[in-house]
Amino acid sequence: MSTEQHGTSPDRTATGSRAGAVTGAAGAAGAAGAAGAAGAAGADATVARAAAPGAAPAAVRGVGVSPGLAAGPVARLAAAAAEPAIARLAPGADVEAEAARVTAAAEQVAGDLTAAAATVDGERRALLETTAQMAADPALVRAAQQKVREHRLDPARAAWEAAGDVADQLRALGGYMAERARDVHDVRDRLVAVLTGAPMPGVPRRAEPFVLVAHDLAPADTALLDPAQVRAIVTAEGGPTSHTAILARALGIPAVVGAGDVAALGEGRLVLVDGGAGTVTLDPDDAAVHRAAERAARVRTFDGAGRTADGHRVALLANVGDRAGAEAAAAAGAEGVGLFRTEFCFLDHAEEPSVEEQVAAYRPVLAAFPGRKVVVRTLDAGADKPLPFVTATPEANPALGVRGLRTARHAPDVLDHQLEAIAQAATAEDAEVWVMAPMVATVSEAEDFVASCARHGLGTAGVMVEVPSAALLAGPMLARAHFASIGTNDLTQYTMAADRLLGSLADLSDSWQPAVLRLIEATCRGGAQQGRPVGVCGEAAADPALAVVLVGLGVSSLSMTPRALADVAAVLAGTDLGRCRQLARAAVDAESAQDARDAVRAGLPVLTEMGL
Ligand code: PEP
Ligand code: MG
């Protein structure tokens, strides 16, 4: 994340050639939202400024990815095992016994992770189970053993190199697979810890709650975080769509990622984390700490019916990927499901799942919402989510390639079978099933999709608006389709031409960008012309301030991670529709994402009162 200097702090000091992420707290803590790229202040300058008598406390700035305010002492993540030196087995060593140590270490790591998985549920369990499977992967174990046998490498070094090879292969694939390289490194570090007898890397244990600071967090570490212990998370790396961000939001832990240099956040140092604004204030005063504690103690719940202060209904729905997610969403009061990401059910499948297998995956999600709306999205394969049975060919630009609905061009049967499975699941359950296609770009694609759905008896068919062309053509699209759901994650990626997975472009990958807001406005206009509902199911819907803007633009439903429901509901309930429209106007007319965010936050004091 690049450095940003907000407000009027006069002492910007550019002593280093590298841009850090440190600002004067007076500006940083007061400014809301994610960073852009403006100033530069070396870490040395920060520490000096923080230590100087009478100097304003410093703050570190990153990307706020999970809202909330929390203060506490820093606990730094235990360092991963160091890279083992290239050591060879001694002459006469029992090579087979050494090779067998790799198997034993893999079994131990996989066993520990599986046991840990059994203590949690939902997304956290799935994540730990995936990491356990990677640890037990016979290909990885075989590759390491080969290095022991053929190159007489010490087992720890062999495991390090074998895992490094796997991670390199994943990185070369790009997108979603490249993100998995982080999991392989986690497995590698655990194997090396077992093989060398070093302490297992991971989240520290302390008697008192703390703010966890790390260079980066392995998904398995994040999945095991206990919100009672970990008040907030700050990482140097990572972007808004990293696993850390997604899980922190799911756990309700305030988080700032992509903070760059976190050296100033030393062990035990008191910090105040604002996961909405993306700031970490060093050495906050007692009043600020007290305010944070008071806000954290206030628990908000959602009563199951979203509305503005003057009673305008806005359906608040959940994004889910499986049965556990759907059940958690129902328990959190979600009015239904606005996005069921069906591809999440089959990410590890090499072959197309049978219709029966698909029906078995879909039914429990529908069963969690009897009589309620469940929007099932057809497979969004490709780019960051390759599914081998529809996206086999490597592409130079996968995000611009054959993904989403486009996979039906060369694999029409896969779509046909899926619609058949959705229809069967819908018949077997009581949910009101709507179906939508991802990555629709043309009116004829919309028309064909609606016709395909109708052939399977699926009468409510919609389009996701993720590509600027769909937003601009919303009128004719919605003359064919029955609804639109705006995927702001991809709409932002394609409008700003900024890879949504790149932390270094987080200032561009920001749905507050006025160009994105104008496309959302155009989509709502198209929906109004045709009398069709327009919802939002991207991450923007989970931002309480942006939710107000979306409602003001005419969006009639918001779908989000269940954790965000209560905050979004509370802010909407405190704002009438006229105010939503005024603030939407101000945001759309702004010239930058930061101006849009600042204008809306300034007009919504309820956000500060609620600590959001
Ligand atoms: C989006 O793009 O906003 C969206 C909801 O789809 P996904 O995040 O699954 O690509
Ligand atoms: Mg998308």
DSSP assignment of 257-315, as one string? E-----TTS-TT-EEEEETTTTEEEES--HHHHHHHHHHHHPPP---S--B-TT--B-E
When pLDDT is averaged across residues 94-117 and rounded to a whole number, the result is: 92
Specify the range with the lowest mean pLDDT, choosing from 151-160, 390-399, 523-532.
Answer: 390-399
Q: Say how many Å lie between the CA of residue 87 and the centre of ligand 2.
A: 47
Query: Is 489 touching ligand 1 by the criterion CB < 6 Å?
Result: yes
Q: What is the pLDDT of residue 346?
A: 86
What's 59-79+202-298's CATH class? alpha beta
Catalytic residue among 345, 453, 524, 537: 537
Q: What is the pLDDT of residue 452?
A: 98
Q: What is the mean pLDDT of residues 272-295?
A: 87
| pLDDT value at 57 more than 60 | no
Ligand 2 center to 487 CA (angstroms): 5
* pLDDT-wise least confident of 83-87, 529-533, 546-550: 83-87
Is residue 34 over pLDDT 70? no
Nearest to 572 by CA among 596, 593, 594, 556: 556
Ligand 1 contact via 327 beta carbon (within 6 Å): no
The DSSP bridge partners found for residue 341 are: 377
**pLDDT at 229 (0 to 100):** 87
Query: At which residue do the structure tokens 């520290």 appear?
Result: 204
Name the least confident of 52-61, 333-342, 347-356: 52-61
Distance 431 CA to ligand 2 centre (A): 24
Catalytic residue among 6, 185, 243, 482: 243
Judged against a pLDDT cut of 50, whether residue 5 lies above it is answered with no
Testing ligand 1's pocket by substitution, the residue of 376, 463, 490, 509 carrying the most ligand atoms inside 8 A of its CB is 490
Q: Do domains 59-79+202-298 and 303-609 have the same CATH topology?
A: no
Closest CA to 339 of 450, 489, 448, 475: 489
Does residue 341 line the site of ligand 1, with CB under 6 A? yes
State whether the beta carbon of 487 lies less than 6 angstroms from ligand 1. Answer: yes
311 pLDDT more than 70: yes
Q: Would you say 243 and 31 are in contact if contact means Cβ atoms under 8 Å apart?
A: no
What value does the mean pLDDT take over residues 270-282?
90
- Ligand that comes closest to the CA of residue 377: 1
* 490 alpha carbon – ligand 1 mean position (Å): 6
Task: Give the dihedral sign, CA 342/343/349/353.
Answer: positive
Place of tokens 């929007």: 375
In the structure encoding, which two tokens stand for residue 407, read together?
């996979």
For ligand 1, the distance from its centroid to the CA atom of residue 491, given in whole angstroms, is 8
Q: What's the residue count for the chain? A: 612
Residue 241: pLDDT band by 50, 70, 90 thresholds?
low
Give the pLDDT of residue 45.
28
CA of 489 to the centre of ligand 2 (A): 6
* Over residues 193-218, mean pLDDT: 82
How many angstroms is it from 139 CA to the middle of ligand 1? Answer: 32
385 Cβ inside 6 Å of ligand 1: no
If you average pLDDT over residues 38-44, what whole number do you get?
28
* Ligand 2: centre distance to CA 579 (Å): 29
380 lines ligand 1 (CB under 6 A): yes
Q: What is the pLDDT of residues 161-205, one digit of tens each?
A: 999 998 888 777 766 666 677 788 889 989 998 999 887 777 777
Distance of alpha carbon 259 from alpha carbon 65, whole angstroms:
11
DSSP-assigned letter for residue 37? S
Q: Of residues 227 and 420, which shows the higher confidence score?
A: 420
Closest ligand 1 atom to 538 CA: 3
Domain residue ranges of the chain, discontinuous segments joined by +: 20-33+82-196, 59-79+202-298, 303-609
CATH class of 303-609: alpha beta
**What ligand has the least distance to the C-alpha of 385?**
1
Mean pLDDT of 67-80: 85
**Closest ligand 1 atom to Cα of 537:** 5
Confidence of residue 219 (pLDDT cuts 50, 70, 90): low
As a whole number, the mean pLDDT across the chain is 84
Least trusted range by pLDDT, from 49-53, 97-101, 482-486: 49-53
CATH of domain 20-33+82-196: 1.10.274.10
Active site (annotated) includes residue 482: no
**Predicted local confidence at residue 215, as pLDDT:** 84
Q: Please check the confidence at residue 310 and state whether its pLDDT lies above 50.
A: yes
CA of 450 to the centre of ligand 1 (A): 20
Q: pLDDT grade, residue 465 (50/70/90)?
A: very high
pLDDT confidence of residue 174 = 64
**Which residue, by CA, sits nearest to atom 3 of ligand 1?**
487
Question: pLDDT: is 82 or 492 the higher one?
Answer: 492
Of 28-37, 179-188, 451-460, where does mean pLDDT reach its minimum?
28-37
Reference 260, options 276, 278, 283; nearest CA is 278
Q: Which atom of ligand 1 is nearest to the CA of 490?
A: 2
Rg (CA), the chain: 25
* Mean pLDDT of all residues in 76-82: 77
The answer to whether 23 and 35 have CB atoms below 8 angstroms apart is no
Taking CA atoms, 425 is separated from 323, 366, 408, 466, 531, in Å, by 13, 8, 21, 27, 29
Residue 16's pLDDT band, with cuts at 50, 70 and 90, is: very low
Which residue, judged by its Cα, is nearest atom 8 of ligand 1?
489
Share of the chain above pLDDT 90, in %: 54
Indicate which residue's Cα is closest to atom 9 of ligand 1.
341
* Protein residue closest via CA to atom 10 of ligand 1: 490
Q: Is the CB of 538 under 6 A from ligand 1?
A: yes
Instruction: Give the pLDDT of residue 403.
Output: 93
Ligand 1 site, residue 537, Cβ cutoff 6 A: yes
- Closest ligand 1 atom, CA of 319? 5
Most confident of 133-137, 380-384, 524-528, 604-608: 524-528
> Which alpha helices (DSSP H) does 95-180 contain, by range?
95-117, 122-135, 138-151, 155-173, 175-179
Q: Is the CB of 466 under 6 A from ligand 1?
A: yes
pTM of full prediction above 0.75: no
Q: Is 243 in the active site?
A: yes
Per-residue confidence band for 1, with pLDDT thresholds at 50, 70 and 90:
very low
Q: Give the residue whose CA is nearest to atom 4 of ligand 1.
A: 487
318: helix, strand or coil: strand
Nearest CA, atom 6, ligand 1 = 487
Given the structure tokens 């919402």, which residue do they identify? 369
Counting from 1 in the atom list of ligand 1, the atom nearest the Cα of 540 is: 3
Among the ranges given (1-15, 276-290, 453-467, 506-520), the one the predictor scored with the smallest mean pLDDT: 1-15
Question: For the residues 3-21, what does the mean pLDDT come to?
Answer: 28
pLDDT tens across 364-381, in order?
999 999 999 999 999 998
pLDDT of residue 67: 80
pLDDT for 612: 75
pLDDT of 382 reads 84
Residue in 344, 387, 466 to alter for ligand 1 test, most ligand atoms within 8 A of Cβ: 466
